[in-house]
Amino acid sequence: MQLTNRSKQVADTKMTWLERIYLPGIFKGMMITLSHAFKKKPTIQYPEQKRAIAPLYRGQHVLKRDDNGAERCTACGLCAVACPAEAITMIAAEREKGQEKLYREEKYASMYEINMLRCIFCGLCEEACPKEAIFLTDRIVPSTTKRKDFIYGKDKLVEKMDQRIDVSVRQTNNLAEFKKNQSFAHNKL
Amino acid sequence: MMSQYLFYFLTFVAIFCALLVVFSKNPIYSALFLIVTFFATAGHYFLLNAQFLAAVHVIVYAGAIMVLFIYVIMMLNLNREVEPHKSTAIKIAATVCGCILGLVLVAALRETEMSAISEYSNPGIGLIERLGNVLFGAYMVPFEISTVLFLSAMVGAVFLSKKSIH
Amino acid sequence: MLSPEIIYKIILILAVFTVTLVVAMWSTYAERKVAAVLQDRLGPNRAGPWGFFQPVADGLKMFTKEEFIPGTADKQLFILGPCLAMLTALMTGVVIPWGGDLTFGGHSYKLQITDINIGILYLLGVVSVGVYGIMIGGWSSNNKYSLIGALRASSQMISYEIAMGLALISLVMMTGTLSLGEIVHQQDAGWANIVYQPLGFLIFIICAFAETNRAPFDLPETESELIGGYHTEYSSMKLGFFLFAEYINMFISSAIIASLYFGGYNFPFQHSLGLEGNALSLVQTFVFFCKVFFFIFFYMWVRWTIPRFRYDQLMNLGWKTLIPLAILNLFITGIVIGFRNGFFQ
């Protein structure tokens, strides 16, 4: 069966004299390596140049706030359940009086951690979230030298008010409609 | 004047290292001191205007033969702990043999005349052209016979290293 | 006491020493760059423009690393090994003619430290002693990989020295002299020696690869089977000395190949350019270095093209192919010289 045109038939025949002195073969090989010296290099020099990423790239997570600046997350735990790598941990707390500006729902996550070393960036947490609170963004998780630096708490995950993160690519109307589908168990009243 | 100081220096190095060859406990050290001795001897050849001889001495003795010596010593893994203990009889016999050899050497050297110093000052005496003319002229037959000797030694080595055919 | 001649020699020795070290230093950079370019990569490009100061950074790294001597190693010999490697590598540079004559104040000075009448034998002698650095270093490390590397180095060196010497003898027969200055000077009038000795050149360059322990003959330091070979246990600048000695050897052997077979500092039509005296000498030196750099590139080019030999293949090539070929070359050279001198009439 021939898969490509590049495959070469190998025969166990006796080598000819020219083949046995190897010099023509060596010369041919050296010409091949030399020709590579004049080829365009495919290297992308990372910090200066960046490779174009897919529009739906799944990178570092963000916990969204709503338009008024209140956290959307209600600490339901669906993301932690959905997570195949068990990277998400959270502690729920009840909203006090006067905190309506901070948290949208009556329950909120007082602690929310994602272990970026466990996370496989599959995006199932985003899919599971009924409150449109967690999204994966196109940001790359930076490397550090300590393991504990990879456990991202709310300080790193919740978006800052002055640096809102655009997730319009992922939070489309179609998706929002699809999530309201009554046939899903969690949407049944 | 300069060459005289060099002579004394080289002589000192040669004799000192030759003694260390004998007195070193570790065979690798012995071999290395032997190499230094060879270099000092090559230096003496240079002082005698025998450049070719000096270069060949370094190439053959220091560069080839001693490399093989060290090669073998490295393979044998000799060290102080596994050195076999010699019996007293062997030690006495060795001492007697050494003394007799020394006696013969001293007797032979006593009879030799010191050749005239003026021969040293001829700068062309050790040149390769001279040597070639002498080897392929006056000493043609001994030279060729020695090459036959080498050839037979090579054939013998190949024969010994070949597995015997039954 | 200090005549101008001696002062000139001292300056020349220092200059050759410096040039050798600088070229060897930047050869490490060139090696990485050539390797990268031949493999569709970019190579070092962070230290300075195009990574030009990479060797400086590498050297600083080498110097600041921990100096480690294994507890079971033989300490004196462990230190002696890299010193010997470096010493013998630097010793060969003195007989190479780096250019024509320079004239200062009515005196003519050769751009060659010493033109001894046994130049080629001196080269062979230093090369044959050069293996001691590796052997002593490998043995004193007290490590089986180092020892195997040292053994391989010594047997490889001895095997290829013979073919190299025989190839050189045909050259010596043809030129009738052992002095490198004279051999280079003869190529000014006629053709370069490569025209008369193509087979000898081929044998010589293959042996030069083996003698400098360069790929495809880098069996003493095969990473995949012997970790690092003879320098497995070495660290810091002692390792640097071993690696550096290899690059110096490469530079010097490129210079020897250029001098013996490619006309040294001579170049075609050099006397019809209208250049005279010092100007011509400087141009000649420049041309010589161009040739040397080409051969350094050639060394690297071969290294990044041809896979490493197996050990038995290496020995077979040396003993069963190159030595008979060298003897054949010697024989043919002898017959041709005999015909030219009218020996057979």
Which residue segments constitute the domains of chain A, with CATH numbers given?
Answer: 61-183 (3.30.70.3270)
* Residue B84 confidence (pLDDT): 67
B166 within a domain of the structure (yes/no): no
Which residue range(s) make up the domain with B47? 2-161
The whole-angstrom distance between C95's CA and the closest CA on chain B is 14
Query: Hey, how many other C-beta atoms are within 10 angstroms of the C-beta on A62?
Result: 21
B92 within a domain of the structure (yes/no): yes
* Burial class of C297 by CB neighbour count within 10 A (0 to 12, 13 to 18, 19+): middle
Residues B71-83, mean pLDDT to the nearest whole number: 71
| Cα distance between residue C121 and residue B63, in whole Å | 12
Q: Is C128 within 8 Å of chain B by CB?
A: yes
| Cα distance between residue C214 and residue B115, in whole Å | 49
Residues C124-137, mean pLDDT to the nearest whole number: 86
Q: Give yes or no for a cis peptide into C216 (omega within 30° of 0).
A: yes
B97 within a domain of the structure (yes/no): yes
* Residue A120 confidence (pLDDT): 92
* Residue A117 confidence (pLDDT): 92
- Interface contact C128-B58, CB threshold 8 A: yes
How many CB pairs below 8 A link A and C? 30
Write out C91-131 in H/E/C secondary structure: HHHHHCCCCCEEEECCEEEECCCCCCCCHHHHHHHHHHHCH
| Cα distance between residue A127 and residue A135, in whole Å | 9
A30 closest CB neighbour out of C41, C45, C301: C301
Residue A103 phi/psi, 5-degree rounding, is -125, 135
Q: Return the SS3 of A108.
A: strand
Q: What is the ipTM of this complex?
A: 0.81
| Cα distance between residue C171 and residue C198, in whole Å | 10
- Interface contact A36-C41, CB threshold 8 A: no
Structural domains counted in chain B:
1
Its pTM surpasses 0.90:
no
| Cα distance between residue B117 and residue B120, in whole Å | 6
B98-112, C33-47, C189-203, C285-299: lowest mean pLDDT where?
C189-203
pLDDT at residue C282 above 70?
yes
Q: Is B67 within 8 Å of chain C by CB?
A: yes
Q: Each residue of A133-172: pLDDT tens digit?
A: 888 888 888 889 999 899 998 888 888 888 888 877 787 7
The whole-angstrom distance between B20's CA and the closest CA on chain C is 16
| Cα distance between residue C66 and residue C86, in whole Å | 20
B24 within a domain of the structure (yes/no): yes
| Cα distance between residue B7 and residue B12, in whole Å | 8
B59 within a domain of the structure (yes/no): yes
Torsion C274-C278-C281-C283 (CA) sign: negative
Of chain C residues 296-335, which have a CB less than 8 A from chain A? 301-302, 304-306
B116 within a domain of the structure (yes/no): yes
Average pLDDT value for chain C? 84
Q: Is A43 within 8 Å of chain C by CB?
A: yes
* Residue C58 confidence (pLDDT): 86
8 A C-beta contact, residue B126 and residue B52: yes
B122 within a domain of the structure (yes/no): yes
First to last CA, chain B: 67
Q: Is A54 within 8 Å of chain C by CB?
A: no
Q: State yes or no: chains A and B have 3 or more CB pairs below 8 A.
A: no
- Interface contact C42-A36, CB threshold 8 A: no
8 A C-beta contact, residue C85 and residue C133: yes
Residues of chain A in contact with residue C38, where contact means CB-CB under 8 angstroms, are 33-34, 36-37
Residues of chain B in contact with residue C147, where contact means CB-CB under 8 angstroms, are 74
- Interface contact B51-C125, CB threshold 8 A: no
pLDDT at residue B24 above 90?
no
Share of chain A above pLDDT 70, in %: 96
> In this structure, what CATH number is given to the domain that contains residue B99?
1.20.120.1200
